[in-house]
Structure 1
Amino acid sequence: MVDPTSDHHEDIDEDEAPNCAVCGDAIANEVTHRVTTWVEDGNVQTAHFCDEQCRAEWDEN
């Protein structure tokens, strides 16, 4: 897995790319990639999204 703080839109192989938390698509070399980070039970959690629409849909749930 790629470091979540790296530039995912540059030279990332689809096999190593994170998947969108909403639609499940691999997020490789996409400038629309969004990440939400939060702390839950003392652990850092992250959710990756292929675009703003998927991030907004995740926020609604």
Structure 2
Amino acid sequence: MVDPTSDHHEDIDEEDAPNCAVCDAVIANEVTHRVITWVEDDGVETAHFCDEDCRESWGGA
């Protein structure tokens, strides 16, 4: 898993890249990549999105 605070749009292999929480697209080397983080059950959770449209349409936390 890639560190969610890193620059995901720079030199990330597809097998190491996260998937969009909405459309399940692999997010590798995309400058449109968005991440939301939150605390749940004493841990940090993250959701990755391929672009702002997917982020806005997400119904999660």
Which band: TM-score by shorter chain?
Answer: over 0.9
User: Residues 53 and 60 of structure 1: is their aligned pair in 2 closer, same or farther, counting only changes over 3 Å?
Assistant: farther
Determine the C-alpha separation between the residues in 1 that align with 2:19 and 2:59.
17
Unaligned runs of 5+ in 1: none
Question: Which deviations, in whole Å up to 9, do the C-alpha atoms of 1:21-51 show, x marking residues without a partner?
Answer: 0000010000000000000111100000000
Please give the residue correspondences for 1:1-61 in structure 2 after superposition, counting only pairs within 5 Å: 1-59=1-59
Determine the C-alpha separation between the residues in 2 that align with 1:41 and 1:47.
16
- Overall identity of the aligned pairs, in %: 75
Q: Secondary structure at 2:57's aligned position in 1?
A: helix
When normalised by structure 2's length, the TM-score is: 0.92
Question: Which deviations, in whole Å up to 9, do the C-alpha atoms of 1:1-22 show, x marking residues without a partner?
Answer: 1111110000100110000000
Unaligned runs of 5+ in 2: none
When normalised by structure 1's length, the TM-score is: 0.92
Q: Secondary structure at 2:28's aligned position in 1?
A: coil
1:58 CA drift (Å): 0.3
**Equivalent residues, number:** 61
User: Residues 29 and 60 of structure 1: is their aligned pair in 2 closer, same or farther, counting only changes over 3 Å?
Assistant: same
Structure with more of its chain in helix, by fraction: 1
